[in-house]
C-alpha cells in the first residue's frame, strides 16, 4: 500500500465550504502517481518511453466532506490485474482515519504513439502487486 | 433531457495532450446545473434557501478522449428518484455524436444548516422527471 | 475587441463564497482564445503548426468579486505589439457592465520545437490590430 | 521567509506539456497560506473569526516553465505593509534554485460579515514582518 498526505487549500474548496467533488480525482491521481514513484516509476519517464496510463473507469463513493486546512490521506493499492488493464482501490481518510471517500479506478496501458492498448510491462506489474501485498 | 455545449480550452487539457480526467466531473456538474436552471432552479437560489445538493456516488466510463478546441456536448437526465436521493444519467459526446464518457451520478439533498439528508421538494422532483421524459 | 460571456459554476468558487482568484487567469485565456478564433486562428492549429503562444507577464487588478451563477463578460483587445511579443488589455465585467477585474497580459511567440522566441506572423499581427481597433 | 516544496502532477500541466499558467496562482497561495501557518494562523481560523484576506493586485513574471514530476519551491515574504493592505514578494524556483516565476501579491484584509476593509491585526502584522526579516 502507498500513503500520501495532502493539505486542503482554498483552491480545493467551493462555495458550499467543502472540497469540490472533482478535486478528489486529482488527489486520487496524486496517490497513484506516488504509488508508482515508490516502486521506481515516474510519469514523465513513462511518457518519454512508450507507455502512458489512462483512466478507463472510476467509481467514487463520497462518504463525508473534507474542509479547508484539513490534512487528508490517500491510500492506494492494486487489487486486480488483467492483460492490458489494472485496477486500484483507493481510500481518502481524514486525520482520525475516518473514510472521506473510497474509489475503484481501472487504468489502461497505451502505447504513446498510436494510443493502442498494450500489455503492462511484467516487471512493473510485479512491483505493483508486491507493493500492494499485506495491507 | 438537457443538453449543454462546452468548448475545450488549454485549462482543460494535460501533458498527455487530452482533457484531464477530473475535468469531466466539472463538465458533468455544469450539465446538471443547466438541467436544473432549465426547470427553474439555480444553485445560488437553492443555497440561499435551505437546500444543497451533494454528489453521493459517481461511476464514470471513459470511452475516448476529448482534445483542445473540441466542442463537446453534455446530456443529462434523471433516471431514478428515491426518498432523499436522485440519480442522473449523463453522456459526454463529441461533435459527431460519438460517446466520450458516460456517467451515473447519485445526488443527495441536504438541509443547508445541519447538513442532514432531507426530502427533495416534490415540485422540484416532478419538474426533474418531466424534463427527463421522452429521451 | 472581442467579447465572451462566461457562466460561473461551483467549480469556479471557493470557501469564501466567491470566484477563486486563479480562475480569472482561465477566464482571461478563454477570452484571448476566442479573440484569436474570431480572426481565424485556433490554438490547436497554431500548436500543430510551428508556433505556440506563452504568457510572459500578467498584471491583475481585482476590483470586486464574482459569484455563483453570475454571467460575466471577458473583453479582450491588443494594445501593444513588439518584435516577438504582443500585449492584451482585458476586462472582466459583471452583468451590469461594472468591472470585476482588469488585466494586462504580455504574450510571447515561440517556435514549437525548440521553444525559442520567434516573430509573430505579420498576417496574424495585422488581424489582431484590426480586431482591436475602434474600441 | 517561508519555503514550500510542491510536486508537479498531471493536473498541473496542459497540452503544451508544461505547467498551465493559472496554476501558479494556486501555488503562490499555498505558499502564503504556509507562511501564515508558520506564524500561527490558519485560514479556517481566520475565516471563523472575523477576518478574511483577499488578493487585490497580482503581478506575475513568467521566466521559465515547470514540468511534470518537477519539485518546485515557493518562497514567500512580506515586503510592504500599509493600513489595510500588505504585500508579498514570492518566487517559484526549480530544484536547482533557478527562477521559474516571480510575483508581487498585494492582499487586503476584510471583515468577514460586511466585506469592508479593516486593519490587519497588529500582532499578525508584527509576526509577518518578523518572519520576513533577514532573507
Residue C135 binned pLDDT confidence (cut-offs 50, 70, 90):
very low
Q: CB A9 to CB D33 under 8 A?
A: yes
Q: What is the pTM of this model?
A: 0.95
Show the domains of chain C with their CATH numbers: 2-132 (3.10.129.10)
Residue A135 binned pLDDT confidence (cut-offs 50, 70, 90):
very low
Per-residue model confidence as pLDDT tens digits over C20-73: 999 999 999 999 999 999 998 887 777 777 888 999 999 999 999 999 999 999
D44 Cβ partners below 8 Å, 6+ apart? A67, A68, A69
Per-residue model confidence as pLDDT tens digits over B39-70: 988 877 777 778 889 999 999 999 999 999 99
* Cβ of residue B59 closer than 8 Å to a chain D Cβ: no
The per-residue pLDDT for B121 is 86
Per-residue model confidence as pLDDT tens digits over B78-92: 998 888 999 999 999
Q: Choose among D47, D54, D55: nearest CA to D113.
A: D47
Q: Choose among A10, A62, C36, D76: nearest CA to B25.
A: A62
Residues 84-123 of C with CB under 8 A from B: none
B104 Cβ partners below 8 Å, 6+ apart? B57, B58, B59, B79, B87, B88, B89, B90
ipTM of the predicted structure? 0.94
* Cβ of residue B68 closer than 8 Å to a chain C Cβ: yes
The span from the CA of A116 to the CA of A109, in Å, is 8
The per-residue pLDDT for C55 is 97
Q: Residue B27 CA to chain centroid, in angstroms?
A: 7
Question: Taking CB atoms and an 8 Å cutoff, what residues of chain C touch D52?
Answer: 16
Cell of A35: 504509488
SS3 content of chain C, % helix, strand, coil (to 5): 25, 40, 35
- Secondary structure class of C73 (helix, strand, coil): strand
Per-residue model confidence as pLDDT tens digits over B8-44: 999 999 999 999 999 999 999 999 999 999 998 887 7
Question: Taking CB atoms and an 8 Å cutoff, what residues of chain D touch A44?
Answer: 67-69
Amino acid at each position: 500500500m502507498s500513503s500520501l498526505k495532502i493539505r486542503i487549500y482554498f483552491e480545493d474548496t467551493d462555495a458550499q465550504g467543502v472540497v469540490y467533488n472533482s478535486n478528489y480525482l486529482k488527489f486520487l491521481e496524486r496517490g497513484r502517481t506516488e504509488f508508482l514513484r515508490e516502486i521506481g516509476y515516474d510519469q514523465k519517464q513513462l511518457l518519454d518511453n512508450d507507455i502512458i496510463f489512462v483512466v478507463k473507469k472510476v467509481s467514487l463513493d463520497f462518504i463525508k466532506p473534507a474542509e479547508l486546512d484539513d490534512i487528508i490521506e490517500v491510500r492506494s493499492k492494486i487489487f486486480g490485474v488483467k492483460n492490458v488493464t489494472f485496477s486500484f482501490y483507493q481510500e481518502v481518510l481524514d486525520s482520525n482515519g475516518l473514510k472521506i471517500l473510497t474509489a475503484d479506478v481501472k487504468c489502461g496501458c497505451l502505447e504513446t504513439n498510436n494510443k493502442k492498448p498494450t500489455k503492462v510491462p511484467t516487471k512493473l506489474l510485479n512491483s505493483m502487486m508486491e507493493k500492494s501485498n499485506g495491507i
